[in-house]
Structure 1
């Protein structure tokens, strides 16, 4: 039987064996010794180290999905209520923090389980990595392990240890660096570890990534059994992410943290701005791109198909499948530890035909209107800049004509906001009157195919308690086009969650390189234009010159920065990236203090449905909300810890 790393047999047998195995491991030294006597037992411990990878394919656990302003859900929270959503609603606290990766409390949660059963427990994950490294680095242990395997496993676990530190650093800022395993019998003072300065954390994490990248394979040789294991391109891509974060305004020259010190008076942040951090980030992103390219990664394009599809739909399929097509050419790091299965797809899917029951397409993941407005016009510029298209009347009604039939059902009346938009708007979003093509189209083509009808008296309308779309915009992007529905069966094809796509690396490089220049050069334009070209858009230079009311915007660093930021928000929409980007750009005060709005989805007529209503007045308190609080109890237990500002 073929197997993927963490999929199939490993997921159901080996992985569960790891968890049972570890139930008897933690602090029993003889048992630990037994774990590293034979290769098979050590391999189980390797799987355990992998098991702490974030479950970003599940919106219950993907903090970036629910803690910001990109996705909203009904207040009823019927069978789905991620605790991170309480952060978006301003309920974060230090007594019992939501989505707590530090002390692993308040996990996915939900209305029926608000206390949760633990989040990622990343310090526990780091401890297991240290135990593994301590033992496998010892040549007297695991004597039947080949040397090449030993070196590779060590490199994989060094990566995992680095990634778990990075995940915590992104949330909490300065963290304790757990470089070696602390013995359970160690003196109390040794167990109480204090937070290391931010720059020291970055240096330690990147050094681990460098060490692992030097050993890891460039590609997976045995794709039948090892897909999902860490490779050199993955390690270099994460290093680029770490350095990009470190170079960004939240952590580079942020005066808000100038007086933030530990109990010994040590500054936890360098208050000065360091331009060289952008240079390091650019170099790291370029190295990651070169490694990924050498490994054969490229931007995904929808292949030739026997289906009768318009060029319009083929372009949308290239955009949609760049996320959902399993192990495709763009997935530098696909994480099968987190499958994008029904937990994501069912909560995003709209009822677009009568075969789809209420519980099998729950429609709960809703997109605020401001996110729909963020996508470009068909000319590739923001809707408030397009000098050839008038969006001043964006909330008024308009009826689709024949040439628009692959975007909006011909003859259907919907908001002007839904017309004349770029291909990613139609690929990513479902909306009232919008076409939703998928594999089982009744016509085997994109002509006369599925259409979403979203008013309250219609199939996808807000007419079921808790299972409805709160804003009138649905997330089509995350639903694999192989989703099939018949009168007797509904099926969603799961896919490993793409932690890093090549498009992300291109935009990271363009952003970092732009920050090192007084004005963008050809290389900055090249990498952002690669992403735009796949999206069916004109190059930045031509789009802004010909269509923008600010035609010279791209010619200076500040203008290009704004363009790159918006390009990231669009290209990586609904992948959990927006929240972290807005934080590191230090734009949360602006972006997360706006009202969450949507259409009047409980209404049944066009005139009533297309009235904008305020759903929630979102609030973000700076600088407090930029960093997670450390649980008060943890600070009481370890007085060497210093709480984050404002908490």
Structure 2
């Protein structure tokens, strides 16, 4: 047992090297002293106990760690990075030996949460503090929530999971445990979060005051719990998880059905109630949709959407991740080569997403009388230069905040010269295919969202900011979707959907829209508002069961501009819809990732998702 404890602490110490800064007292992230080599030693010392708690946060996914995170936009109909990396799900080669779910890391964190919960009450040093009892109660709530949350993100990836006993395991324990059903998994996670919620503060306040403590940003509180529960219940009500007869063959070895086969309409009511409760709680504590004012409504909408990620997180952010790879990974990977210091220029946005952004008047490009792909503008503005193809003009403000196109003004600090002040994706352009082996987007577009206008590679300039794991706009869209299904015609559906549209510079939708048309509008709004953020699109198309439908296809041919052509900005040979890359045709097994083969080999009660 002593050897086991030593190994456990060695593992914990290694984890602590990569701790997520969650904002605690000075010295919180110092190295573990050599003389503390047992669990007993850790939980007799306040500092080490709090470091253990901080380590429990470290596996929360970073939504801007791109492009090398498998479960992100590069495996959905948002982006491509196949010049650099191409996850096996895109080629159809995904199997249990290539499991990319992070399963082992999740179970390790789940076990460490359990050890913390079993031992925190033994810390006499914390108990002796004036607020010691309250601290221990709060710490328990954080650990209990995080344990449930790691189950939840694992469930999103692989479906029904194996739920470990709520005690620290020993080598003598029985690990032959079958999957729980999806409904059982949801009930377990929700019950754990509800228990945790009762132990947590409403918000992260400075002790003894009503002032927010920014050093505790990201620490779990009641607002965060309510937001995550909203997400869980929305998924639980969705077609993939609610009466999905397509997965009737997914059973345990004893024949137990892992997905319910009967549709339950009341789940949408539960989801809408949870979303509204989360919204009300957030707004009562000062949260709101981030907006700025400017000279024109269009410019105000653009700045509201562009600056949200570095100026608006205090207003709109519900759950923050204070440690993020925004600058070192995302900004560098998405910036064109014309960026000062030379961006990596490789996160290619697919044509279907470009096409889904509306025109400035709210019309789709297919119904707009002014949308044209064979003419070029003679005027310039803050968003594009003269000579830009008119397919990129008169688009909605979010288009200019989220997509970099041929002729766009450089998103960051440009190299010197007029050719670098604008972005040139045509073949011989400054960010084109010619002359470089891999640093060019196959589609002729790159992602632009969350690139700060002062970003530079060399000299290295970035604006530090946290990442928003959940923001208020997502809760608004959760509510609108669930309410449209549970109570069609309720005026709140349009109210909350229009709050997102108008912030983005679009006109309000009028009354009288059918439930099915509103469903499509809500789905489109999620597609645009949440693009590139935390795998939302990846999971949305799956839970809606539309990954093989036109306009949301996750396999087959994906289009862009012709990167093999073009010698000038207005060259029509570049502006031709061309197959940019092809992915494996959608298969049912891609709804979920496989359990890792190593776990399948160890646990003989575990069944694999059909198709792997």
Kindly state the Cα deviation for residue 409 of structure 1 after the two structures are TM-superposed: 1.2
Kindly state the Cα deviation for residue 449 of structure 1 after the two structures are TM-superposed: 11
Q: Distance in 1 between matches of 2:454 and 2:219?
A: 26
Is contact 1:73-1:469 (8 Å) kept? yes
Q: Distance in 2 between matches of 1:148 and 1:11?
A: 17
202-211 vs 504-513, greater mean Cα deviation: 202-211
Kindly state the Cα deviation for residue 51 of structure 1 after the two structures are TM-superposed: 1.2
Q: Return closer, same or farther for 1:208/1:342 CA change in 2, 3 Å cut-off.
A: same
Q: Distance in 1 between matches of 2:40 and 2:498?
A: 54
Q: Return closer, same or farther for 1:45/1:592 CA change in 2, 3 Å cut-off.
A: same
- Say whether 1:556 aligns with 2:514: yes
- Match of 1:124, SS state, is helix
Q: Return closer, same or farther for 1:541/1:126 CA change in 2, 3 Å cut-off.
A: same
Could you tell me which residue of structure 2 aligns to residue 287 of structure 1? 277
Residue-by-residue CA offset, 1:272-312 (whole Å, 9 max, x unaligned): 101111111111111110111112111112367xxxx7654
Could you tell me which residue of structure 2 aligns to residue 329 of structure 1? 315
Match of 1:607 among 572, 594, 599: 572
Q: Return closer, same or farther for 1:453/1:280 CA change in 2, 3 Å cut-off.
A: same
- Say whether 1:408 aligns with 2:384: yes
Match of 1:480 among 423, 435, 452: 452
Listed as ranges, the matches of 1:221-236 within 5 Å are 221-222=205-206, 223-236=213-226
Q: Distance in 1 between matches of 2:443 and 2:29?
A: 39
Is contact 1:39-1:144 (8 Å) kept? no
Listed as ranges, the matches of 1:257-268 within 5 Å are 257-268=247-258
Could you tell me which residue of structure 2 aligns to residue 271 of structure 1? 261
Q: Distance in 1 between matches of 2:244 and 2:276?
A: 26
- Say whether 1:54 aligns with 2:89: no
Match of 1:374 among 339, 356, 378: 356
Listed as ranges, the matches of 1:101-500 within 5 Å are 101-103=102-104, 121-137=105-121, 143-144=127-128, 146-187=132-173, 190-222=174-206, 223-302=213-292, 312-325=298-311, 327-352=313-338, 356-358=340-342, 361-384=343-366, 386=367, 388-389=368-369, 391=371, 394=372, 396-402=373-379, 405-410=381-386, 412-414=387-389, 416-436=390-410, 450-463=421-434, 464-484=436-456, 489-500=459-470
Q: Return closer, same or farther for 1:561/1:147 CA change in 2, 3 Å cut-off.
A: same
Q: Distance in 2 between matches of 1:300 and 1:589?
A: 35
Match of 2:489 among 520, 530, 546: 520
- Match of 1:597, SS state, is strand
Q: Return closer, same or farther for 1:135/1:624 CA change in 2, 3 Å cut-off.
A: same
33-42 vs 504-513, greater mean Cα deviation: 33-42
Kindly state the Cα deviation for residue 456 of structure 1 after the two structures are TM-superposed: 2.6
- Match of 2:375, SS state, is strand
Q: Distance in 2 between matches of 1:620 and 1:498?
A: 33
- Say whether 1:643 aligns with 2:581: no
Could you tell me which residue of structure 1 aligns to residue 538 of structure 2? 579
Q: Distance in 2 between matches of 1:626 and 1:587?
A: 10
- Match of 1:261, SS state, is coil
Could you tell me which residue of structure 2 aligns to residue 531 of structure 1? 500
Kindly state the Cα deviation for residue 609 of structure 1 after the two structures are TM-superposed: 1.2
- Match of 2:97, SS state, is coil
The RMSD of aligned alpha carbons is 2.9
- Match of 2:579, SS state, is strand
Could you tell me which residue of structure 2 aligns to residue 551 of structure 1? none
Match of 1:628 among 574, 585, 593: 593
Q: Return closer, same or farther for 1:352/1:325 CA change in 2, 3 Å cut-off.
A: farther
Is contact 2:332-2:344 (8 Å) kept? yes
Q: Distance in 1 between matches of 2:82 and 2:583?
A: 15
Kindly state the Cα deviation for residue 45 of structure 1 after the two structures are TM-superposed: 0.7
Is contact 2:484-2:493 (8 Å) kept? yes
Kindly state the Cα deviation for residue 6 of structure 1 after the two structures are TM-superposed: 4.0
Q: Distance in 2 between matches of 1:70 and 1:351?
A: 21
Residue-by-residue CA offset, 1:568-605 (whole Å, 9 max, x unaligned): 00111111311111111111122113411111123233
Q: Distance in 2 between matches of 1:336 and 1:206?
A: 25
Q: Distance in 1 between matches of 2:604 and 2:175?
A: 11
Q: Return closer, same or farther for 1:180/1:138 CA change in 2, 3 Å cut-off.
A: farther
Q: Distance in 2 between matches of 1:586 and 1:21?
A: 52
Is contact 1:471-1:601 (8 Å) kept? yes
Kindly state the Cα deviation for residue 224 of structure 1 after the two structures are TM-superposed: 4.3
Is contact 1:339-1:494 (8 Å) kept? no
Q: Distance in 1 between matches of 2:514 and 2:23?
A: 53
What TM-score, normalized to structure 1? 0.83
Is contact 2:22-2:322 (8 Å) kept? no
Kindly state the Cα deviation for residue 55 of structure 1 after the two structures are TM-superposed: 2.2
Is contact 2:22-2:218 (8 Å) kept? no
Residue-by-residue CA offset, 1:206-227 (whole Å, 9 max, x unaligned): 1122122223222222434212
- Match of 2:103, SS state, is coil
Is contact 1:57-1:496 (8 Å) kept? no
Residue-by-residue CA offset, 1:305-360 (whole Å, 9 max, x unaligned): xxxx765444212101223437431111111243422211100012345xx133xx
Kindly state the Cα deviation for residue 500 of structure 1 after the two structures are TM-superposed: 0.6
Residue-by-residue CA offset, 1:59-112 (whole Å, 9 max, x unaligned): 22261222222110243x2xxx3x6x3322322112332x23223xxxxxxxxx
Q: Which runs of 5+ in 2 are unaligned?
A: 1-18, 207-212
Q: Return closer, same or farther for 1:312/1:326 CA change in 2, 3 Å cut-off.
A: closer
- Match of 1:540, SS state, is coil
Match of 2:80 among 65, 72, 93: 72
Kindly state the Cα deviation for residue 137 of structure 1 after the two structures are TM-superposed: 4.3
Is contact 2:562-2:577 (8 Å) kept? yes
Residue-by-residue CA offset, 1:259-280 (whole Å, 9 max, x unaligned): 3211222111111101111111
Could you tell me which residue of structure 1 aligns to residue 88 of structure 2? 86
Kindly state the Cα deviation for residue 624 of structure 1 after the two structures are TM-superposed: 1.1
- Match of 2:141, SS state, is helix
Q: Distance in 2 between matches of 1:600 and 1:254?
A: 40
Q: Distance in 2 between matches of 1:284 and 1:368?
A: 34
Could you tell me which residue of structure 2 aligns to residue 43 of structure 1? 50
